[in-house]
Amino acid sequence: MNDTSKCQVDILIKNGLIVPATGPHNVITKGAIAINHGKIVELGPNHDICNKYIGEKEIDAKNKAVMPGLINAHCHFLQDFLKGSRDDLPLVDWIEQVSFPRIKLAVQDYLAGIHDLQKFATLHGCITNIKSGITTVLNMEWATPADTIKIYEDTGIRAIHTLTITDNHNWTPSEAILNDEQLFNLTDQLHEHCKASKEERVSLSYGLACPNSCTEGIFIKVRDLANKHQIPIHIHLAETEYEFNSFSKKHGKTPTRYLYDLGLLGPDVSAAHAIWLTDADIELLKKTGTSVVHNPECNMKIASGIAPIARMLKAGVNVALGTDSCAVNDNTDLFEAMRIFVMLQRVANLDSTIVSSYEALEMATIGGARSLGLEKKLGSLEPGKLADIILVDLKAANMRPVNNIINNLVYCANSGNVETVIVNGNLIMEKGTILTVNEEEALDEAEAYAQKRFQEAGLAVPSYYLTSLGEDF
């Protein structure tokens, strides 16, 4: 067939090893994908697709795995500035000494009309996630100005911007709490900006901080608003033994049961961590269709415990993967999270067959999409779905030889192997270079501002914080 008789599409990816995430054995050894108007038109064997389509932009994916973009279902961009920070404290003390001082600063800056810290954090977080092959991210943040939404748009990532909600002054410092009027006025502003976002790539989620930090009244109000506006809910749940024990003692029920009895849980809810669960709690999550976001590296680093993910999967609970923040991980490498998830579940259960590498891949793709209510649009490579796609270099030393492509992606790959990133049919990273923003200049400017603002606020910053800028130390 000559080129004039072929159907023109925006992008044609050819010669790739296609991993659609539609089943553990559904792999196209030498395949192609036609993309037009932001969506996947068709995929299949190379000769079939290339004989039918011609691309305005053609990408040779020889020696590349072509797979769905990864979905980071739990992250906090403000803490991008805390990579490598203190790791010698229990979580409750770490929150008090490391996290809350910076959160208080961000909230007080917002109230004073100073928005640069959150804007630079969002820019920094978008870059680190894109570089990791993450095409969709849930970013849970405190008091972010509505025009922050434009940063997601400009960088090209797909985002669920999640505003942290807390009203318990006995748990959260008052300096970090917006009153109800401030809080819900801001959610309305963010919602309007999200609805108007370019290509509808940014949406809003209510972010209830955790059961200990929210009153019964705020839980009920947020559930009512979520129902009214069709806005999903995200929450930290049962992250620590302390939360589980203190909550059970105070209320006579587990945190999960408490939320169930309030009517909060449901298919529009994703719960980060869910470590300290009873079998009855797992059944409640399954019954309500609530998703869980597993953050294995964070949970290991701060010794919160091992989430019973294998039991959840067996029970039919949908599970996604998250990196959590760079202060408790300290990276946004979901390939690493996939590998650690499998190994951690196997050693915790002393069973090398209890979870599979394909289940890990599902959690980082279609499981993440389900947790966000986007499984009909994202999470797998299928005709009609949005073209959120990444290319992974299989010629890198750590990836070769390839004995089983699913195993190699889960056990061998890292974020540095991601070469190309496409979101909504837009090429936003090619051959490791982000095309939507000057990566080096953006990171330098963001980090320089963070150092300056932290020092002004009396927060400790090491002398070598800006070594990437060539600062002497």
Residue ranges of domains in the chain: 70-371, 439-469
**Contact at 8 Å (CB) between 106 and 449?**
no
Higher pLDDT pick, 248 / 87 = 248
Nearest Cα neighbor of 164 from 93, 120, 104, 254 is 104
114-154 pLDDT per residue, tens: 999 999 999 999 999 999 999 999 999 999 999 999 999 99
User: What is the reported pLDDT for 463?
Assistant: 83
300-326 pLDDT per residue, tens: 998 999 999 999 999 999 999 999 988
Sort 374 into a burial class: Cβ within 10 Å, 0-12 / 13-18 / 19+: buried
CB atoms within 10 A of CB 275: 22
For tokens 């009873």, name the residue.
278
Task: Please compute, for residue 107, the number of CA atoms within 13 A of its CA located in the half-sphere on the CB side.
Answer: 22
The CATH number given to 70-371 is 3.20.20.140
pTM of the model: 0.96
What average pLDDT does this structure show over 213-239? 97
Residue 456: partners with Cβ closer than 8 Å, 6 or more residues away: none
Q: Which helix (DSSP H) or strand (DSSP E) does residue 293 occupy?
A: strand 291-294
Q: What DSSP line would sit under 196-264, residue for residue? A: TSGGG-EEEEEEE--GGGS-HHHHHHHHHHHHHHT--EEEEES-SHHHHHHHHHHHSS-HHHHHHHHT-
Q: What DSSP line would sit under 143-203, residue for residue? A: S--GGGHHHHHHHT-EEEEEEEE---TTTS-GGG---HHHHHHHHHHHHHHHHTSGGG-EE
Token pair belonging to 388: 């959120």
User: What is the reported pLDDT for 473?
Assistant: 43
User: What is the reported pLDDT for 466?
Assistant: 81
71-83 pLDDT per residue, tens: 999 999 999 999 9
Q: Does the pLDDT at position 418 exceed 90?
A: yes
The Cα–Cα gap between 145 and 148 comes to 6
What CA–CA distances, in Å, run from 5 to 2, 47, 52, 54, 192?
6, 15, 8, 9, 44
273-308 pLDDT per residue, tens: 999 999 999 999 999 999 999 999 999 998 999 999
